Structures are given as C-alpha cells and as structure tokens.
Homo-oligomer: A and B are copies of this chain.
Amino acid sequence: MNDTEKFTGPISDKALERLAQYVHYLRRREAEGLEVISAVTIASDLGVYHTQVRKDLALTGLVGVPKVGHKVKDLIKAIEHFLNWDNVHDAFLVGVGNIGNALIKYRGFETSGIKIVAGFDVDKALIGKEINGIPIYHTDKLIDLANRLKIKIGIITTPAEHAQEVAEMMVEGGILAIWNFAPVVLKVPPDIIVQNVELYSSLAVLSQKLKSKLEADGDIPQINEEEQKEEEEKQK
C-alpha cells in the first residue's frame, strides 16, 4: 500500500506546471546541500503563496512534518514520481529543422520523462544520418515504426503547414501524447493528449507589454493628443 494518493479529478495544468518549477528549484537547493525545507521558503523564493505550494505538494500525496517542513530529497522524489519523470518514455520527433535539431541534441529532457529515440524528416539530405547517435528516417516510416516500437510520445517541430498531417500520422502510429511546437491548433481525437509550446504566444505577451511600457514611459515619439490628456489627468 505505497500509494496513498486519494482519488482526485484531473489535476489542473497550472498546478502541474508549478510542480515542475518546484523540482528544478529543489534540485538546485539540494545541490547546495540543503536537506530540509518549508513550503514557506519555497513559496517566497518562487514568488507564490505558501498555501498554494502546500496545495500543489498535497497533490503528490506528500505529507510534511509540522514545525520541520519537508526533506528536500523526498520532495524531489515524490514530485518526480507524480509527474512520471522517474519513468522515461521513448519519443519520436518529426521535423529536423532548427528547433528539432536542438531538441535532439539536448539530452536534458531525459530527466523529465522523455527520450528522443528517432527523428523524421522529408529532406533527403538528412535521412539516413545520425544526430548525436539518433537516427533520422523518412517521415514515411513514422507510422510503421511508431506502431512497432510502441512509441507513446510524438514531438512536432515541422513548419506550421505540415503539423496537422504529421499529427494524424502520429495518431495512426498509436502515439498518445503530442508535444507540439508548431503554431497550429491540432485536430486530433479527444483522447489524444496535446501539449502546445506556444513560442509566438509567449513572444506576443512580451512584445505587447514592451510596447505598453515604452508608450507609458513616453519613449515613443508619436504620442497623440488623447494620450497626452490622459497623462495630464493622471498627474492631478
């Protein structure tokens, strides 16, 4: 009976995202030699509420010790287990362009549940080659290989216009979860897990906020009369 997690509905994405943050933070603190930590400390270092940290940690079934806190090592273990990061899944990556290449070369995700075992592309110049020991096949082979190797995770790093067809091939190949870097809303069966990395959306937030900031600071020349009036209003 090592599984004391009580049944709860699906966990919110936000909570899962924070848990990943906690792990990275805790690994760093552990490397510094810290052995015990309180939710209050985690919260203040990461800029969130301590009650939120506790709620998130509770999702993993963790129980802390009043007055003491949590053992850093146990926390890391428990979160990693909860996120399934102690269980590495093989993954296929389709689209060996700039980002695809970077993800294949980068081995850092292997401590986060994913190991890329093959790349796929339609570029003849790439097919048959290896990148860091990982073979690149023609995308034609995707469905068959995914089925045979029982691959569960697919990564899409193709140009936007090919993302949908690749997603469909992945589904046909029995892939259950797609990590999608293309700026496209994929249409897949409802039971397929899709996690989008929206770089352009992230950039949109950055860009628009910078614009607002520059305008507020008066750094932009073409300020119109209405805005100037508003400025004056504020100063009163």
Contacts and interface: CB of A to CB of B under 8 A. Distances in A.
A28 B160 CA distance: 9
A204 B114 CA distance: 10
Interface stretch (A13-21, A62-70, A119-127, A141-149): A13-21
A contact patch SS: helix
A235 to B, nearest CB: 15
Nearest to A212: B10
B83 A224 contact: no
A107 B196 CA distance: 20
Interface stretch (A33-41, A94-102, A165-173): A94-102
Contact of A210 (B89, B105, B211): B89
Contact of A193 (B46, B113, B176, B209): B209
Contact of A179 (B7, B17, B203): B203
A236 to B, nearest CB: 15
B177 A7 contact: no
Given A25-B185, A102-B101, A185-B25, A152 B207 contact: no
A203 B113 contact: yes
A51 interface: no
A129 interface: no
Interface of A: 1, 3, 7, 10-11, 13, 16-21, 23-25, 28, 45-47, 82-85, 87, 89, 97-99, 101-103, 105-106, 109, 112-114, 152-153, 160-161, 176-177, 179, 183-185, 191, 193, 195-214, 224, 226-227, 230
7 closest Cβ pairs, A-B complex:
A20-B204, A17-B201, A84-B211, A102-B102, A113-B207, A98-B102, A195-B206
